Chain A
């Protein structure tokens, strides 16, 4: 089926898959950071991405600038994340490890309904920013500018994140706390605050993923569940708690979804779960997972 098509059509689908994969990478890396640092699987991850989408909508209608929208989405939703961790999750540490997970699940049930009350049931569209409409010609291929922007922007974010974690003092403390938080605490660091910061960072990444996907698929209250699902599948495929796994897994799943929705549209939503089942069969710890953490 694929062989009959001109190669540039296939290449364009791969390009779409790459852009989609970039959004998945942002989602899954946020989930991974939170899990690595706090041992909490955030069931409300997609819900926070949904909040990011609405934050962009609100900020764009107020200020008119898409980039102000993106920044305010990260900041506002990141702060909501920090508050959530501080008020709701902190009391649960050291108790049954399933409780934080159940709590975030409760949030993912309640928050979309709150958004329905505030913004209504109908999706809120955001226009493509003026600077990013149109397309770039690359040989015989026409590449939409907005998707090019997503790819380069994600690249920029991931490199900044990597530099931050590798080079900065705070990043070093975060990596150390991921390894052994008790030891870091013994060395005199306020680990509790590091957890709040880490949680806010992960939520900020989720909000960013929601924010940049809005112009392609308007913000709806129920978009969160699908995004949580994507984050989970990518994390299982890539390996839990591994940033490299989130990147490779995200791009891989993005490509798979784009290709299946092109050749067999009705299987598009199923394909990523099939991928996950296959990975679980042949490599249970995920592509980049460490033994013992699964």
Chain B
């Protein structure tokens, strides 16, 4: 075994994210549609919500799920099916889009969360593919298979129609702000501290008498809440549910965004989603082969800056501060 010796774990932790930084980020987001197009800005926010939950699991708990497309896609499909077949209201649809992935997370969690890291990654990926193939062919009657679920009615809130870019951006921005605050609160709570303790040293946390399996399980379920919410918002945003929401590349994208931005940092998912989607949009203008470049950039990040953008900046800032204190 190559990693038999004690792994020197680099600490990416971000103990107290400063409120000023978070508020600054929110102010920036208000003006984001002036910098990039409004649909792209909306997409960035949706992936940020997805990433906040994913980061809770990967960055703070240290559990790598490679099947988060299952929760995102299930959320998107549940909301879409509710809107289309049951004429569900906005909040009912979003609620169902959150509930269904949480139930799935409970099921997968019971089956697999006990397994060690790499094993869980494999199992979650396989379950994600299972859902993809189920939606593709056996459940074609309901999900419309490869075509995706179309004919989803337009939603509105306080009689403002959400199919116009700017009102919908504001709607998603409010939800993003709420989720950012919720995440911040979770990380400050004893539960959040436990998550971080497990990532640093699971053995020791267990020796202290904590039920590590249970806490990891809850971390997974909470994370699926975010994924489902993001999926439901994506359905309203696009007006249809593409089959690709369940595809393995969706799981891969959220992994890449979170690593790129900096796992275990509060604002990492936001930065990661922004940079990733901006790169993707820019490169696909030049060539349809954007995956080659994004994949290569990801490999380079893993080799050179495993802490990600925000993590690396924080490290540099910390070394700078220590250096200044010495003089």
Residues of chain A having any CB pair with chain B under 8 Å: 35, 37-41, 43, 88, 91-99, 101-103, 105-114, 116-117, 178, 180-182, 195, 225, 229, 232-233, 235-236, 240, 266-267, 269-270, 273-274, 276-277, 280-281, 284, 293-294
Contact = CB atoms under 8 A, between A and B. Distances in A.
B126 A180 contact: no
Contacts of B299: 88, 103, 106-107, 110
Q: Which 3 A-B pairs have the closest CB atoms?
A: A110-B295, A109-B295, A273-B130
A93 B4 CA distance: 10
B8 A106 contact: no
Interface residues of B, number: 52
Secondary structure of the A contact surface, majority rule? helix
Contacts of A229: 125-126, 129
14 contacts: A39-B118, A93-B2, A95-B8, A99-B302, A103-B299, A105-B252, A109-B291, A109-B294, A110-B292, A111-B295, A232-B125, A267-B137, A270-B134, A276-B126
A294 B296 contact: no
Contacts of B121: 41, 98, 101
A98 B117 contact: yes
B142 interface: no
Given A92-B302, A102-B64, A269-B137, 11 more contacts: A93-B3, A96-B9, A97-B7, A106-B302, A113-B295, A229-B129, A236-B122, A270-B133, A273-B129, A284-B115, A293-B116
Interface in B73-114: 111-112, 114
Contacts, number: 153
A30 to B, nearest CB: 15
Given A106-B298, A229-B129, A232-B125, A38 B2 contact: yes
Contact of A98 (B64, B127, B130, B296): B64
Contact of B289 (A41, A92, A99, A116): A116
A222 to B, nearest CB: 10
Given A109-B294, A276-B123, A270 B289 contact: no
A232 B126 contact: yes
Contacts of B136: 269
Interface in B294-312: 294-296, 298-299, 302-303, 306
A101 B117 CA distance: 10
A218 to B, nearest CB: 21
B278 interface: no
A237 B117 CA distance: 17
A195 B292 CA distance: 27
Contacts of A92: 302-303
